[in-house]
A and B are shown apart, each in its own frame.
Chain A
Amino acid sequence: MSDRYEIDLNVKPGDDLQDEEMAEAPQVKRKGRGFQSGDQRGDGVHSSAFDKLNSSDDSASGRALKSIEGWIVLITGVHEEATEEDILDKFGEYGEVKNVHLNLDRRTGYVKGYVLVEYEKFSEAEEAIAAMNGAKMLDQTLTCDFAFVKPTNNDDRGRRGLTTRGRGGHGGRRSGRSSSPTRR
């Protein structure tokens, strides 16, 4: 039986409900060849058994999740001419910075606007966030938070994305609704 799922872009809202998981609000505008493609993939993000780091269940760190070796802080609002030195200058005060990822915009070569900073200890990361959130660097206001958090629920059944591929019988996330149990 063919699993090919095709969508005619001229179809009226509500007609494309062969796969009920694909029910999007009728006012959603769709664009792209991917909606016509019937490619099926058994691997990739829609498969199961993904590695994840679990929290060590210490409530001291709140919702933050420790990475394999340290705590990763995300800073946004970074000025496009900021340098790694600027980052170390400001953030080195709260602990030894183990790693900095100050990614550049691949087109312009300027800083993309965010930086990821790693501290070894939770207390250092927490202090840096508290101190630097809302602070200014090169005249721009920074926003800081942990990069990784504990999952919001314990549903381990592999949430599906808004796949455009009709895969009969699979649970998908309905837009705008709270998550319903995925069917397997």
Chain B
Amino acid sequence: MPAEEFYVRYYSGHQGRYGHEFIEFEFHADGRCRYANNSNYRNDSLIKKEMTVSPLMIKELKRIIADSEVMKEDDHKWPKKNVVGKQELEIRFGNEHVSFETAKIGSLVDVQGSEDPEGLRVFYYLVQDLKCLVFSLITLHWKVGSDEMFDLLHYASKVAKACLGMDLKGYQNLTKA
């Protein structure tokens, strides 16, 4: 009897002056976990980490996803990806396989102003919880200063959005003038 199918992948990124800046991670049912993070701002390089988490970790991950009820949602009314970037959440859980794609979300204001605030809110919070978990795993296993990376990407996307597609460098030049 095959084990319950399970797979999670999250991606958030954009293409800009600094190339492809993104964060992506995935978990397989057997515990294999990959994390990739690229930011060319200040010449930071591509980080690619791989590790195997224990069955208990996968069990907890499944619980978090199940509790969120994200599998019940649908992305057809969610904001479409745009020049500022996109997010992808792909989950295979038992008999269901979702692959959601939406724009970056700056804050709850974006959620509340959307056509499906309840669904997008579920997505929004789950993504934060997943990132939090992955951030802890990476930080503890590798002792890298990942919080800087997370904050940086988040900040960069907010600024770019505020300036209607301008990238971080453009914004900095603007404020210096």
Q: What are the residues of chain A within 8 A of B22 when measuring CB–CB?
A: 43-44
Q: What are the residues of chain A within 8 A of B74 when measuring CB–CB?
A: 31-32
B24 to chain A, nearest CB (A): 4
Interface residues in B65-122 (C-beta closer than 8 Å to A): 74-76, 80, 88, 90, 92, 95-102
Contacting pair B98 A74 (CB below 8 A): no
Q: Is A69 close to B, CB under 8 A?
A: yes
B100's partner among A24, A33, A69, A162 (CB-CB below 8 A) is A33
Give the interface size bracket for B toward A: 35 or more
Q: Is B44 close to A, CB under 8 A?
A: no
Q: What are the residues of chain A within 8 A of B36 when measuring CB–CB?
A: 43-45, 47, 50
A152 to chain B, nearest CB (A): 6
Question: Chain B: residues with CB nearer than 8 A to chain A?
Answer: 2, 5, 7, 9, 11, 20, 22, 24-26, 28, 30-32, 34-36, 38, 46-57, 59-60, 63-64, 74-76, 80, 88, 90, 92, 95-102, 125, 128-129, 132-133, 136-137, 139-143
Question: Chain A: residues with CB nearer than 8 A to chain B?
Answer: 24, 27-35, 37, 41, 43-45, 47, 49-53, 65, 67-69, 72, 74, 76, 99, 101, 103-107, 112-114, 116, 118, 143-152, 159, 161-164, 173, 175-177
